[in-house]
Each structure stands twice: as C-alpha cells, then as structure tokens.
Structure 1
Amino acid sequence: MLQPGYAISAHAADDEVLFGPEFCFECFWVGVREAGDRQHLVAFDADSPPAQELLARFQAFQALR
C-alpha cells in the first residue's frame, strides 16, 4: 500500500492534532486522519491544475526544509 506523500495538520491551541488531510499524488486519494485513524478516503484528480498547484507548493515547502 502506498503511503501518502504529503499531509497538512490542523492543531489545537495546546498543539493537539485535530485532523489532517493526507494526499497521495501517485494513487489519487486524499485520506483524512482524525484522532490518529484514517477516517475517509476520497478520490481526487491529481492532474488537475489546482492539484498540481498544491503539489508544487508541497514540493517548494519540502525544498526549504
């Protein structure tokens, strides 16, 4: 099984992770992780212009690290 390539985490004021979408641009799925468990898998068009822009932003951020 492929692991998500990129994720965004939303944190509470006490730094607890509330939820986080995880994006796999190889298998075209977004999973939403809540309380440590993946709750939903949703297909997305990874080749669409918005998805490609998001991927470019993920890659640019990763290059800064």
Structure 2
Amino acid sequence: MQLPAEAVASAVLIEVVKISALPVKRGAPYPGRTVAHWAGSELARALTLIQDLPGSGQHRCGFSPGWSVRAYEDSLDLVIFEAAFCFGCHEVRMHGWAVPPALATQFFDADAPPARDLLALFRAASA
C-alpha cells in the first residue's frame, strides 16, 4: 500500500481508533474509541506493516471499516492522514492534508502476512 512519503517522514505519533460508525461526511474523522497511541518503534512497525500491505482487487462488502489510524506530526495539532481499514472488502480509505487524490482509496490483500499482523496489533491494542 502506498502512503504519502511526506506523511511517513514526518509522523511521530499514530492514534489507533476502533471505529463505531462511518463519518457524517467525506473527509471527516471516523468516529470511535481511541484504543492506543503508538510512537517510536511501535509507530515504525505499524507504518512498515501498512506500507508492506500487498495490493488486491476490490471485494464487495459495502465498506465497513473496523479500525483507523491517525498520524500526527510534532505539533500534534493536525492529522497528517487518517487511514480506515476494512478487512472485509480489503479497502483502505485515506484522507488528510498529505493525501493526494490518487492514494485516497486503495485495496489490499487482507489475507497476506502484513495484513494479519496489522489486524493482530489492532486487536491487541483494544484488549
């Protein structure tokens, strides 16, 4: 999966959200409960897993994401990007100031090892 290079370079914190609903409008934050904050090696591991997600074709499930990550830079004021993951239809939707339109919707192989590892991290964070 492609992440904006600028976003990866400037991210210092990821907030992990267990999504409870879809946002009321496109580009709004995904509502839900924050279950973890990752920095340092946890941040690096998560970004590597996300970047290592192999591409996939689109599957149809209606896009019902369970998890999102919000990346922040040093100021922690503005979200660099938010990526919402649907492991049912293998779709990721991203928005934020660093996300070009070409990267806003991507598809990943939810059965690949990096996807399974990322899902395990999400689940462990909410345990």
Q: Structure 2 matches for 1:42-53, cutoff 5 A?
A: 42-53=106-117
List aligned pairs for 1:1-65, cutoff 5 A: 1-12=62-73, 13-34=75-96, 39=101, 40-63=104-127
Higher strand proportion (structure 1 or 2): 1
RMSD: 1.6
Secondary structure of 1:9's match? strand
Structure-2 separation of matches of 1:41 and 1:24: 11
TM-superposed deviation, 1:58: 0.3
Tell me the number of residue pairs that the alignment of Structure 1 and Structure 2 aligns. Answer: 60
Unaligned ranges ≥5, structure 1:
none
Q: Give 1 or 2 for the bigger CA radius of gyration.
A: 2
Greater relative CO, 1 or 2 (CA 8 Å, sep 6+): 2
Equivalent residue letter for 1:27: C
TM-score by length of 1: 0.78
| TM-score, reference length from structure 2 | 0.43
> In the aligned structure 2, how far is the partner of 1:29 from the partner of 1:16?
24
Q: CA deviation at 1:52?
A: 0.2
For structure 2, which runs of at least 5 residues remain unmatched after alignment? 1-61
